Amino acid sequence: MAQLRRALVLDAARAAFFELGLEGASMREIAKRAGYTPGAIYSYFSSREEIYATLLGESLLRLNAHVAAAPGDGTPAERVRSKASAFFDFYRENPRDLDLGFYLFQGVRPSGLTRELDAPLNGQLRAALQPTAEALRDLGLDATAGEAEVTALFAHMVGLLVLIHTGRIRMFRQHAPQLLAQYLEQLTERLQRPGH
């Protein structure tokens, strides 16, 4: 019962956030959309931060599900491409989830929430990259090298996503997915080259 209503508030928060962005999704706005008075929200979430953290956690679950659903039965090189692309596409197709992902370290200063919730959320993010990391290891990389490679790949995807997100990509008249494909191509080729 309470769980249902909590979900209702969360729906309202998600909608508000997705429509109005961070600034617009105030407690007032969320309450209005949920059909509540602002005070009532606090029965379900103890602070604005908690709402956002919940939303972000949920978003990361969707991300992980999306990555898990990507084909994982080909060659290691194919799996690198498949899993990394799944990660990338999730955020490309759901730009608000990217906003959400950026939320905790962009807009949030005063809250003590960051510290407490940071660890599990980071864990969820790591988990979403895990399949890619495993595929890289199957290509022959050791733990250290795999870590470096997955970090570089993660950075590359984040950069592309930011460029898409901010519209800066048009500046270069390039398509981000194609750029990612090239990066992955070169990556797998490089790792399979003799002498590596």
Partner DNA sequence: GATGAATGAGAATTCATTCAT
Partner DNA sequence: CATGAATGAATTCTCATTCAT
- Summarize as ranges the residues that interact with a copy of itself (CB under 8 A): 21-24, 102, 105-107, 109, 122, 125-126, 147-148, 150-152, 154-160, 162-163, 165-169, 171-174, 176, 179, 182-183, 186, 190
If the CB atoms of residues 75 and 174 are measured against a copy of itself, the closer one turns out to be 174
Candidates 32-40, 60-68, 79-87, 94-102 — which segment interacts with DNA by CB under 7 A? 32-40
Q: What is the DSSP letter of 139?
A: T
Q: Which helix (H) or strand (E) holds 141?
A: none
Residues 6+ apart with CB under 8 A from 147: 133
Q: Which helix (H) or strand (E) holds 44?
A: none
The binder of 29, among DNA, a copy of itself, none, by C-beta within 5 to 8 A per type, is: DNA
Cα dihedral 66, 56, 174, 163, rounded to 10, equals -160
Candidates 33-41, 66-74, 88-96, 160-168 — which segment interacts with DNA by CB under 7 A? 33-41
